[in-house]
Amino acid sequence: MPLTDAAIRAAKPADKPFKISDGGGLHLLVQSNGAKLWRLAYRFAGKQKTLALGAYPTVTLGKAREGREKAKRLLADGIDPGAQKRRDKIAAKVSANATFKSIALEYLADRRHALTPYYADQLLRRLDRDIFPALGHRPIAEIDAPELLDVLRKVEKRGVIEQAKRLRQTCGQIFRYAVVTSRAKHDPSAALKGALKPKGRQQHHTTMPRQELPGFLRALDCYDGDPRTALALRLIVHTMVRTTELRLARWEEFENLDGDEPLWRIPAERMKARFEHLVPISRQALIALKELRTLPGGERDGPLFPSPSREGCMSNNTMLFALYRLGFHGRATVHGFRGVASTLLNEAGFDRDWIERQLAHDERDEVRGAYNSAQYLTGRRSMLQWWSDWLEQIKTTGRIVMIAREAA
């Protein structure tokens, strides 16, 4: 006869332990000290076994029966319920010891080969600042969507909406890594899709109006701040590289600076597209480099723009603040000079492939994507020299006059 709660409560201990059956192998073991323990008798692989299901009344009669049915389903699938319970217990212990920070660090280490050192360090800095203080010590399997949302809301309140979204994406990658490595059951960031504030209208890098270029170049020659910063801006304009590619540059990357064809060889790990990038050096860019050589620290190998900062080089905002100081706040960004150069070189009739390769835009076509860093190098050298000569001309004359490539 199946058990009832009344019958269980009425069961009194005896001198020796005894069982009260509920059917299907489930029974209550009443100990001589009064403890009432749920047990399930079953057979697996021809052997008689017993599975502990907890103590009454912590585990109710209903819960004990649910445990019996779960065990039957496992047996039907050829799984030993006792062995599965041990595995679940080990997994729970591993999960409890797997904190968000430990999994995040493991994930980043696993992905290092696919990330530029700068980007990998940037991800870690963002996690260190905004995620680890609140969630780093928490078992990753216990973190839920509301808890993660609360942390991201604090980032939003600083006004960095896009950064909050990127942090959600990074956390999602970490949670999914924990899922596939059996340290978590789900990714709570997925439930936050649409929960964060929209970033609003996309703000593109402000491109300096072409009519302001002569005045900017003249103002740059008279810059009264750190001479290294002015030279950095000059190199940005003449080489078309990204801010990070320049500020992390090292002297050992430059070749043949005293020869006929000076070259800057930017290593793959610093490039966004993860390919080595060759930058021909125009006469004007070479003059800037030689001026840098005369400044303290420029006479030996190392960073072009040394700094006592954590990265050991010029900060990400140094050139931008110099633009502000020159009077171009809101009217131009450092990255925007790439857009200026691209537009004007296309208008001048240069080969689009030369321009795109010089901008180091990623080649998505897998056939063409066997990247050759020296591709179009001769054409790109002549194009960059034309560009530097044109900049010198408009600075001198103060007038924007487009010169067709053939007349250059």
- Residues marked active site are found at 242, 272, 335, 338, 361, 371
Question: Is-contact 116 266, C-beta < 8 A?
Answer: no
Question: Amino acid letter at 241?
Answer: V
Backbone angles phi and psi of 224, in degrees to 5: -105, 10
Q: How far apart are CA 364 and CA 371, in angstroms?
A: 10
Question: Is-contact 42 75, C-beta < 8 A?
Answer: yes
Q: How far apart are CA 220 and CA 241, in angstroms?
A: 18
DSSP string of 11-79, one letter each residue: ----SS-EEEEEETTEEEEE-TTS-EEEEEEEEETTEEEEEEEEEETTS-HHHHHHHHHHHHHHHHTT-
Question: Amino acid letter at 58?
Answer: T
At 154 the three-state DSSP class reads helix
At 280 the three-state DSSP class reads strand
Q: How far apart are CA 357 and CA 273, in angstroms?
A: 11
Taken in order 358, 364, 367, 371, the sign of the CA dihedral is positive
Torsion of CA 158, 164, 165, 171, to 10 degrees: 180
Residue closest to 278 by CA, chosen among 358, 378, 345, 385:
358
Question: Is-contact 2 22, C-beta < 8 A?
Answer: yes
Q: Over the Cα atoms of the chain, what is R_g? A: 34
Q: How far apart are CA 13 and CA 351, in angstroms?
A: 94
Residue closest to 388 by CA, chosen among 305, 281, 279:
281
